[in-house]
Structure 1
Amino acid sequence: MELYFELKTLQLKETFSIAYGNYDKREALLVELSYLNGKGYGECVAIDYYQIDLKDFIIRLKEIQPLLEKQGIIHPTGFFRFLSGLDLHPFLLSALDCAYWDLFGKLENKSFVELNMIPSENLIESSITISVADVEDQIRKIENSNWNRFKVKCKGLNKDHIKKLLRLDHTIALDSNASFTDQDCLWLQENKYISRFSYLEQPRPVGNYNILNKASSANWMADEDCQNLSSLEELLPYYKSVNIKLMKCGGLTPALEMIRKAKELGYKVMIGCMTESTVGISAGCVLAGLADFADLDGANLISNDQASGNFVEKGKIILSGKPGLGIVLK
């Protein structure tokens, strides 16, 4: 097996504004694993609030490259056990795990969905993200969109803005990126109309969730609070839903386990994404048949997509049915 990797710059179609800052581009690390005539692809991106430095990842890839290239073709779960012994950051682990699933499926001539017997009919629609802006601008974007589901970014709580969003006849979620206060959360969960929002994502900074009342009207959803399998039981008294992102948890292999455990515990599950190309989004899409919510709009936000594969069009998740993750570089 051979390893290849390359840094890419993903240019955003417009400035992406969230509580953490404003972004016009994302740096991405493309990973390729190849064997015979098969090539599999994975991706991770530099996210400043996760303190990701892709140069550190490249150094680590060079260190482990001889070990990776000695590996024969085994089942992806076995390959993941090998990767788990290398002490890799979850973002880098995810890129390698996804690349291997893509390669393995292509060698077996079977899609990830086939290999894991995941439902592929009647998939939930994805939301599209509405950046932080004046609420009238946000409403205008929603009204002019041909998508059906929206995730509206907030930077702090403006009650008047919330009331205006609630009056819209659209499926809307809120994502504060940890910018709500305890008092904001109390106001939201004591307002019976808040149940009209499909979910309210990561209201407080990591670890500050004790104010949340799972039994309230608010469908609180954990994002940064929910990093891996071990966090699920701890969060259970506070959150109704969890956002599972491949880069957070380390790839498709651990995501499958997290989804299974989350469902057992009674959570609603969302498959989420970062700002990613179709390399990353193709991997997220294959899990849509197991999800209650999807937020897989990442590739729709960039202007220089580097691949084709599974994709999202006007919210509809479209699986290519091709072997592996169906990823082809442009």
Structure 2
Amino acid sequence: MELNYEIKVLQLKETFSIAYGNYDKREALLIELSHQNHKGYGECVAIDYYQINLQDFILKIKEIQSKIEAQNMIHPKDFFKFLQGLNLHAFLQSALDCAYWDLFGKLENKSFTDINALPSENLADSSITISAGTFENQVRKIEQSSWNKFKIKCKGLDKIYVEKLLQLNRNIALDSNASFTAEDCLWIQETPEIKGFSYLEQPRPINQYQILNKNGSANWMADEDCQNIDSLEKLVPYYKSINIKLMKCGGLTPALEMIGKARALNYKIMIGCMTESTVGISAACTLTGLVDFVDLDGANLISNDYATGSFVENGKIILSGKPGLGLELKK
């Protein structure tokens, strides 16, 4: 097996604004694993909030490259056990895990969904994200969109703004990126009309969720508070829903396990994304038959996607059905 890697720059179609700041591009690290003329791909992205430095990842890859290349082709779940012994950041682990699943499936001539007997029909629609801004600009973007589900970014709580959003009578979720105060959360979960939002994502800064009550009006959804499978049990009294992202939890292999445990704990589940190309989005698309909510618009928000595979069109998940994750790089 051979390992190659390359840094790509993902350009946003427009400046994106969230409570954490504004950005118009992201750096991505593309991982390529190859064997017998087949190539598998995975990706991780530099996210400021997580203090990701892709140069650190490259140094780590150089340190472990010979160990990875010495591995025989084994089942991806066994390969993941090998990865766990390399002391990798979850983001880098995810890129390697996804790349291996893509390669393994291509060698076996079977898709990821077939290998894991996953549902591939009647998939939930994805939302598209509307960045923070004035109510008027956000409404204009909603009205101009051909998508049916929307995740609206906001900075702090404006009660009049919330009432206006609810009056639109559209399928809307609200993501404050941890900008709500404790008082904001109390008002939200005690206001019956809030049930009009499909969910309210990560209302408070990380580990400051104790004010939340999952039995109130809000469908609170944990994002940064829910990093991996170890987060699930402690969040049960506070959150109804969780947002699983492959980079957060470390790849497709742990995501499958995490979904199983989350179901056992009666969570509603979303498969989410960061700013990613089709390499990352295609991997996440394979899990959409197992979840309640989907937010996989990352590749739709960039102008220079460099891969093809599964994709999202006007909110509809289109699985490639090809071996592995169905990924190919554009020429």
* TM-score w.r.t. length of structure 1: 1.00
Alignment of 1:158-197 (within 5 A): 158-197=158-197
Distance in 2, Cα, partners of 1:194 & 1:160: 13
Distance in 2, Cα, partners of 1:109 & 1:170: 42
Amino acid in the other structure paired with 2:271: I
Offset, 1:136: 1.1
Aligned to 1:265: 265
CA RMSD after TM alignment = 0.4
Matched, 1:39 2:39: yes
Distance in 2, Cα, partners of 1:293 & 1:67: 38
Distance in 2, Cα, partners of 1:195 & 1:324: 39
Offset, 1:144: 1.4
Aligned residue pairs total 330
Aligned to 1:227: 227
Aligned to 1:67: 67
Amino acid in the other structure paired with 2:321: G
Distance in 2, Cα, partners of 1:54 & 1:135: 36
Secondary structure of the residue aligned to 1:183 is helix
Distance in 1, Cα, partners of 2:136 & 2:218: 24
Q: What does the per-residue CA deviation read over 1:179-213, in whole Å, with 9 as the maximum and x for residues that have no partner?
A: 00001101111110101100000000000000001
Distance in 2, Cα, partners of 1:110 & 1:37: 16
Offset, 1:66: 0.3
Offset, 1:40: 0.2
Distance in 1, Cα, partners of 2:300 & 2:207: 31
Offset, 1:288: 0.2
Alignment of 1:65-144 (within 5 A): 65-144=65-144
Amino acid in the other structure paired with 2:12: L
Offset, 1:21: 0.4
Aligned to 1:276: 276
Offset, 1:50: 0.4
Distance in 2, Cα, partners of 1:40 & 1:169: 43
Alignment of 1:278-293 (within 5 A): 278-293=278-293
Secondary structure of the residue aligned to 1:230 is helix
Q: What does the per-residue CA deviation read over 1:226-249, in whole Å, with 9 as the maximum and x for residues that have no partner?
A: 001111000000000000000000
Amino acid in the other structure paired with 1:37: N
Distance in 1, Cα, partners of 2:271 & 2:101: 18
Structure 1, unmatched stretches of 5+, are none
Secondary structure of the residue aligned to 1:239 is coil
Matched, 1:58 2:58: yes
Distance in 1, Cα, partners of 2:141 & 2:133: 10
Q: What does the per-residue CA deviation read over 1:213-270, in whole Å, with 9 as the maximum and x for residues that have no partner?
A: 1101100000000001111000000000000000000000000000000000000000
Amino acid in the other structure paired with 1:67: K
Aligned to 2:201: 201
Matched, 1:14 2:11: no
Aligned to 2:303: 303
* TM-score w.r.t. length of structure 2: 0.99
Offset, 1:276: 0.2
Q: What does the per-residue CA deviation read over 1:254-306, in whole Å, with 9 as the maximum and x for residues that have no partner?
A: 00000000000000000000000000000000000001000000000000001
Aligned to 1:314: 314
Instruction: List, as ranges, runs of 4+ consecutive aligned residues in structure 1 with deviation greater than 2 Å.
Output: none
Distance in 2, Cα, partners of 1:292 & 1:116: 19
Distance in 1, Cα, partners of 2:169 & 2:203: 23
